[in-house]
Structure 1
Amino acid sequence: MKVIIDAHQAHEILKSSIYKRHKSNRWLIDTLLIVNPFTIESESLLKAFKIKVINTLSQWSTQNKYEELVSTIGTRIDHRLALLQSNTNKLSLSKLVKQVTMDAFLSTILGVHANEDLLTELPDLIIHLWKNRTDTAARHRLQELFSANKDNFSQSEFWQHLQTILADHMDDILKITKNDFDEKVSNPLNIIVPGWETMWRVVFYSLLELLRRPDLLEELRAQLNDSPKSHPVLLEWVLKETLRLYPPTKNIYRTNVQTDEQVCISVLDIHRNKTVWGADALNFRPQRFQRELTDEQKRCYLPFSISCPARHKFAYTFAGALVSQILNNYPKINITEECLLPTVDLTLDITRDSYHDLTITV
């Protein structure tokens, strides 16, 4: 497979009608029963899905909605912390971030008030099945959680609209998968995985980098204290630098429909290109976004898929609200003595379960 590390060539491929996404990701369909535009090749499905999601997310761009988002997230963080700290003064940072992100996404964006079993178990179940795709017991538990929350999801107007869009594209979906159509169309993971998976990782790695840079963390805390209901500029830089150094989509795969040639666009290599980003390209330095990026840097900044509805503004708004409220709710976050992060001259590891055992006190 040809690996693309040149941004110009990457953009040409992504915009070209000759290159299509790889064939449907079978394991996402078969294991997680996901049949959304990211697993089903259908331009009309993608367009309808994007329009609905973009229209919904755009509602959160106003100051009033941002304050509502921040308030709700703050409340949910307090609740999750109480549960995670029930038996110990230590807690897993990754569990906190995963659960808070899931809770916030469901309650604010989807308007779903899920039960505690789902909020506690679902994040780790998704990641477990990502690595253990044949675990039938885990798949059964996933179905149990959604069955127990069926009424909660049925009250979400946003989710009902998305189900209708999926059902309207039955012919496209049946070309790929013919079994369990109704179950797949009504599967909440069709929106949860694309909405939650990217966000928790952005929040998690932003916090990890802040925790190993106390001066930067205190500077951000000061800005948050000065403007508790706004989105400080330093927070924006932190999120952008996190997305540059640790892009949630490390590789984008395409197939040439004329030649059947498969290519891999290495977003990670493009984001860490020292010729473009400077000798410190492997260093976490949010201040690089203090100035407007050069044209070449703009071309070399591809943190989200070109088809991602959240890529323009919402991702920064939602992730920023999560980071700010975690910091505001916990004035002192300390990594426990038995857990160590790499020194700041090294980049963090980005495998799916990296630092899952890192514990903190708050």
Structure 2
Amino acid sequence: MFQIQIPSLIDVSLFTSLASLVILGLLNWYWKKTSTSTSSNDLLRLPPGPWKLPLIGNLHQFALAGSLPHHFLRDLANKYGPIMHLKTGQVSTVVISSPELAKQVLIHEAAAFSNRPTLLAMEVLSYNYSGLFSSPCNDYWREMRKICVLELLSAKRVLSSASLREEETWNLVESITHLSPLVINLSEMIFSMVNRIIARAALGKKCKHEQEFTSLVHQIFILGSSFDVTDLFPSLKFLHHVTSAKSSLENIHRKMDMILDEIIDDHKLVKGKSTKNAAAKSIPKSNVPESAGEDHQGLVNVLLQLQESGELQFELTTNHIKAVTMDIYTAGSETSATTIEWAMSELLRNPRAMEKAQFEVRQLLAGKRKIQEIDLKELDYLKLVIKETLRLHTPVPFIIRQATKRCRVSGYDVPSEAKVLINAWAIGRDPKHWGADADRFEPERFQSSSTDFRGTSFEFLPFGTGKRICPGISFGTAIVELALSQLLYFFNWKLPNGTKPQEIDMTETMGIAARRRNELNAIAIPFFP
């Protein structure tokens, strides 16, 4: 997450000799420029934190910490407390690691912490902060969020798109069956299935550029999770021309933009043909059933209709449509697939839990002809598995905000424009709230518990909380529940090459979402009742 992009070095000796002179001059200028702001910070009662070096602050510690900042910041919080102050270059960063302080920031002081940080990756990739994730908390953001919830993510819409999910999960089952008893890359198959579901829900149809689109999304998650050097030193804007970060982001953005343009043009073409056909047949609008084509209309069509009607309080541009569509696709696909992947990893690692989950699904299906007849609300133990997976493997480890003004949290000053990182992953593993076995997979801990992931239990925040809580909770959990129930019902699972359950590598890798570092491979044996 805290990666600094550096230029490729063609001639190291030449670069070193020139750079040494340039850097000395830059550091001297920067030191003088920031000395005034540094002295003003001394007047603030900042939270405690580790020692800082001049100019770079705590960046050297992040460099030594490796690629898992949520682990590193959890360890620091154990030493310095649940609220810490770090200096990431020129920027103040406040880290929150307790449910009580998370509640203060996200609920009691929500107005001061409602915006996301301004980052180069978000500026370039989200059409200048036009997406749901990156947009400031303003009228545009509220209206677009409302549209996305009503047209795609509400309980009614989630129910109406059930056949879409069933079709794609059944395709997954068939693909795995055909490969049995070979070792399969289960991670790859899960991500492909979820990508298709999200694409069809957002776009209204399968994406013919699925492989390229998925590859670009993966690159976005890697680059979008890093801080460019200009994010760390905002006053040194000219460094855009020194590093390769901006050009890399713009290259990805151009490719993604071309695909989104083609998708939108296809929708306009289909809509135009439909309008002409309807006019030729003189079909009164009142005679067309309300539900006709509604289930798979897709968010893009809805947004194009709103753009054409001019009903909104602001001008809805094509860039707005592309930004929101890309946000829905990237956020929905990565987090849902990551959760399924981790759940299967934990079940393979814990055979007792696997056996209980399979027994429940197969008992419910007894006497029914197809798994779609199961009421997913009856999958009590599977829901416990999903909750425990979200607790241990929070898909997005950090809830990220930026202070819009100077304010106080737990008696400490948070400077204006400071980045605030709420370590939801660390909160979900805190022994103070989860016991001495907090790092152990134990779904039963949620039995007879009111703790839930919808934003009211501050010790469990995989989707955030408050006004910027993830709007796609119902849509995402519906995908996860159905996919896991299919995988557990139709197959018995084995590990390849004599691997023992306790030998499964559970190491993470960090993009925006915390995925498995290595893909999950397994053997699926079809189950015949």
Assess same fold via TM > 0.5.
yes
Offset from partner CA, 1:288-346 (integer Å, 9 cap, x none): 11121479x922111102221123x44322211121123334x13333228777558x9
Measured at CA, do residues 128 and 92 of structure 1 come closer, stay the same or move farther in structure 2, by a change above 3 Å? farther
**8 Å CA contact retained: 1:94, 1:356:** no
2:293 alignment partner in structure 1? none
1:76 to 171, 179, 194: 171
Aligned positions of 1:113-192 closer than 5 A: 113-115=205-207, 117-118=209-210, 120-131=211-222, 134=248, 142-143=256-257, 145-146=259-260, 149-150=263-264, 156-162=297-303, 182-183=318-319, 185-186=321-322, 188-192=325-329
**In the alignment, structure 1 residue 303 sits paired with structure 2 residue 462:** yes
**In the alignment, structure 1 residue 334 sits paired with structure 2 residue 334:** no
Q: Which letter does structure 1 place at the counterpart of 2:508?
A: D
Equivalent residue of 1:333, what SS?
Answer: strand
Equivalent residue of 1:23, what SS?
Answer: coil
Residue 211 of structure 1, CA deviation: 1.2
What is the root-mean-square deviation of aligned Cα atoms in Å?
Answer: 3.5
Residue 138 of structure 1, CA deviation: 5.5
Residue 248 of structure 1, CA deviation: 1.5
Measured at CA, do residues 99 and 293 of structure 1 come closer, stay the same or move farther in structure 2, by a change above 3 Å? same
Distance in 1 between the 2:352 and 2:496 partners? Answer: 19
**In the alignment, structure 1 residue 230 sits paired with structure 2 residue 375:** yes
2:339 alignment partner in structure 1? 202
Say which is worse superposed, 271-280 or 317-326, in terms of deviation.
317-326
Aligned positions of 1:1-362 closer than 5 A: 1-15=93-107, 16=109, 17-31=111-125, 33=127, 35-55=130-150, 56=152, 57-59=154-156, 68=163, 71-78=166-173, 81=176, 85=179, 89-107=182-200, 109-110=201-202, 112-115=204-207, 117-118=209-210, 120-131=211-222, 134=248, 142-143=256-257, 145-146=259-260, 149-150=263-264, 156-162=297-303, 182-183=318-319, 185-186=321-322, 188-228=325-365, 229-231=374-376, 232-259=379-406, 260=416, 261-293=418-450, 298-306=457-465, 307=468, 308-311=470-473, 313-329=474-490, 331-337=491-497, 343=503, 348-352=507-511, 354-362=516-524
**8 Å CA contact retained: 2:341, 2:520:** no
Say which is worse superposed, 137-146 or 88-97, in terms of deviation.
137-146
Distance in 2 between the 1:252 and 1:53 partners? Answer: 21
Residue 29 of structure 1, CA deviation: 4.0
Q: Which letter does structure 2 place at the counterpart of 1:337?
A: N
**8 Å CA contact retained: 1:113, 1:152:** no
Distance in 2 between the 1:360 and 1:91 partners? Answer: 6
**8 Å CA contact retained: 1:76, 1:104:** no
Offset from partner CA, 1:277-298 (integer Å, 9 cap, x none): 1111111111111121479x92
**8 Å CA contact retained: 1:106, 1:114:** yes
Measured at CA, do residues 221 and 248 of structure 1 come closer, stay the same or move farther in structure 2, by a change above 3 Å? same
Distance in 1 between the 2:215 and 2:492 partners? Answer: 26
Residue 189 of structure 1, CA deviation: 1.2
Distance in 1 between the 2:445 and 2:321 partners? Answer: 43
**8 Å CA contact retained: 2:124, 2:250:** no
Equivalent residue of 2:519, what SS?
Answer: coil
Measured at CA, do residues 275 and 67 of structure 1 come closer, stay the same or move farther in structure 2, by a change above 3 Å? same
Distance in 2 between the 1:165 and 1:98 partners? Answer: 31
Residue 78 of structure 1, CA deviation: 3.9
Residue 30 of structure 1, CA deviation: 1.5
Distance in 1 between the 2:135 and 2:502 partners? Answer: 39
Equivalent residue of 2:422, what SS?
Answer: strand
**8 Å CA contact retained: 2:342, 2:516:** no
**8 Å CA contact retained: 1:333, 1:361:** yes
Measured at CA, do residues 93 and 59 of structure 1 come closer, stay the same or move farther in structure 2, by a change above 3 Å? same
Measured at CA, do residues 70 and 185 of structure 1 come closer, stay the same or move farther in structure 2, by a change above 3 Å? closer
What TM-score do the two structures reach when normalised by structure 2?
A: 0.57
1:176 alignment partner in structure 2? none
Q: Which letter does structure 2 place at the counterpart of 1:159?
A: V
Measured at CA, do residues 328 and 53 of structure 1 come closer, stay the same or move farther in structure 2, by a change above 3 Å? farther
Q: Which letter does structure 2 place at the counterpart of 1:255?
A: Q
Measured at CA, do residues 149 and 47 of structure 1 come closer, stay the same or move farther in structure 2, by a change above 3 Å? closer
What TM-score do the two structures reach when normalised by structure 1?
A: 0.80
Aligned identity (percent) is 17
Equivalent residue of 2:439, what SS?
Answer: coil
**8 Å CA contact retained: 1:31, 1:139:** yes
Distance in 2 between the 1:37 and 1:248 partners? Answer: 18
Equivalent residue of 1:337, what SS?
Answer: helix
Residue 6 of structure 1, CA deviation: 2.0
Aligned length: 344
Distance in 2 between the 1:66 and 1:328 partners? Answer: 22
Measured at CA, do residues 192 and 169 of structure 1 come closer, stay the same or move farther in structure 2, by a change above 3 Å? farther
Equivalent residue of 1:252, what SS?
Answer: strand
Distance in 2 between the 1:82 and 1:146 partners? Answer: 34
Say which is worse superposed, 71-80 or 38-47, in terms of deviation.
71-80
1:178 alignment partner in structure 2? none
Residue 255 of structure 1, CA deviation: 2.5
Residue 79 of structure 1, CA deviation: 5.8
**Structure 2: unaligned runs, 5 residues or longer:** 1-92, 224-244, 271-296, 366-373, 407-415, 525-529
Equivalent residue of 1:283, what SS?
Answer: coil
Equivalent residue of 1:72, what SS?
Answer: helix
Distance in 2 between the 1:112 and 1:73 partners? Answer: 14
Equivalent residue of 1:21, what SS?
Answer: coil
